[in-house]
Amino acid sequence: MSDLSPDLSPATVTVTGGRPPREPDAPLNVPISMASTYVAGGDTEYGRYGNPSWEAFEDVLGSLEGGRALAFSSGMAAVTTVLDLVGHGAKVVAPQHAYQGSIMSLADHEARGRLSAELVDIEDTAAVVAACADAALVWLETPTNPALELADIETIAAAAHEAGAYVVVDNTFATPLLQQPIALGADIVVHSATKYLSGHSDVLLGALVVDDDELYAVLKNRRSLTGSVPGTLEAWLALRGMRTLHLRVERAQANAQALLPRLREHPAVSEVRYPGFGAIVSIVLDGELAADLLVRKTSLWVHATSLGGVESTFERRRRWKTEARTIPEGLVRMSVGIEDADDLWADLSRALDQVVAHRPE
């Protein structure tokens, strides 16, 4: 794999990382290695322990986040592996608003007596710090899904470490281009690589990044034992997607910021939530019916539960029974894509106009 200079910009790393050595007639990309069994005597031995295609993806992501990356079969496989670090009966602090898979996994562990979970308002830093006192693991998501709240990673990480707790940050929404949690004190960074890293809505993949060799070895061993390894093709596609990560994030963020003032001025929208960076925007309409009407009346925007792809998608989050009751019924989470911003607004505004037209007298 490539030995990149630490002085390279993230945009350059996304393009140049994870490449084979430059030798005559060598391919520019690491080939897809469809192997389950390897000749004995090396470092890999068996397909559950490693694969050159995974390692190329891990090389790029680790360089971007400032640590060592491990790829997993899904974001939830990565989440579950982290929760396996928590001792029996120990406490996990987590946001009350977060990715539902993470919250449901915590609830499942708690129901089985594996651990206890304390859900907090992640923007109330003092309350989060107080909750860290007897925690074994502090789980942060910033911005949160779908409320788009921000956590003070540095302050919370310092308090958690004083209590002897691991600090985990889900960096899926921000991506390593906009936020590097390890530099702010996090021990583990989590990604649903399905989203922005892959970027084309065609890959199911997760990842963890750490900067501690001992912790890396523990997590890698857990991945091997549980078999939660990524598919070779998925890892290859994810790396190909990351080659344009900086361009996609730049364009999608610019589109989101172009839509913000228009959304704030539209009479159908009662609230616009935006953390100041990234391409996720949440808007609040006047209740469930208005939000459901909006997501049915567009032609460019796609009603879908995932995010971070090149296409613009949105979803009324409370359609899921497991979504937090503190999320408004009319909240629509919008993942702004890389289409033309004026086209996106024309499509969206027509649907919002219909929401206004169908308001009860």
Kindly state the percentage of the chain with pLDDT values over 90.
Answer: 96
What is the DSSP pairing of strand 115-120 with strand 90-95?
parallel
Predicted local confidence at residue 2, as pLDDT: 47
Three-state DSSP at 100 gives helix
pLDDT tens digits, one per residue of 20-71: 999 999 999 999 999 999 999 998 899 999 999 999 999 999 999 999 999 9
**Hey, what's the torsion of the CAs at 143, 147, 152, 157, to 10 degrees?**
-80
State pLDDT tens for residues 281-321.
Answer: 999 999 999 999 999 999 999 999 999 999 999 999 999 98
**Measured distance CA(154)–CA(135) in Å, rounded:** 17
- Rounded mean pLDDT of the chain? 96
Phi, psi values for residue 210, rounded to 5°: -135, 160
Amino acid, res. 6? P
Q: Are strands 137-141 and 90-95 parallel, antiparallel or unpaired?
A: parallel
Distances (CA, A) of 356 to 158, 292, 301: 48, 13, 18
Q: Which helix (H) or strand (E) holds 208?
A: strand 206-210
Summarize pLDDT for 213-223 with one digit per residue, the tens: 999 999 999 99
Give the catalytic positions in this structure: 48, 99, 170, 195
What's residue 5's pLDDT?
64
> What are the structural domains of the chain?
10-242 (3.40.640.10), 246-357 (3.90.1150.10)
pLDDT band at 3 (very low <50, low <70, confident <90, very high): low
pLDDT tens for each residue of 73-116: 999 999 999 999 999 999 999 999 999 999 999 999 999 999 99
Reported confidence tier of residue 360, pLDDT bands at 50, 70, 90: confident
Closest CA to 62 of 278, 231, 203, 242: 242
Residues 6+ apart with CB under 8 A from 198: 205, 237, 238, 241, 242, 308
DSSP letters for 212-276: -HHHHHHHHHHHHHHT-PPPHHHHHHHHHHHTTHHHHHHHHHHHHHHHHHHHHH-TT-SEEE--S
Say if CB 170 and CB 103 are below 8 A apart.
Answer: no
Contact, 164 vs 132, CB < 8 A? no
3-state secondary structure of 191: strand
Top pLDDT among 44 and 174 is at 174
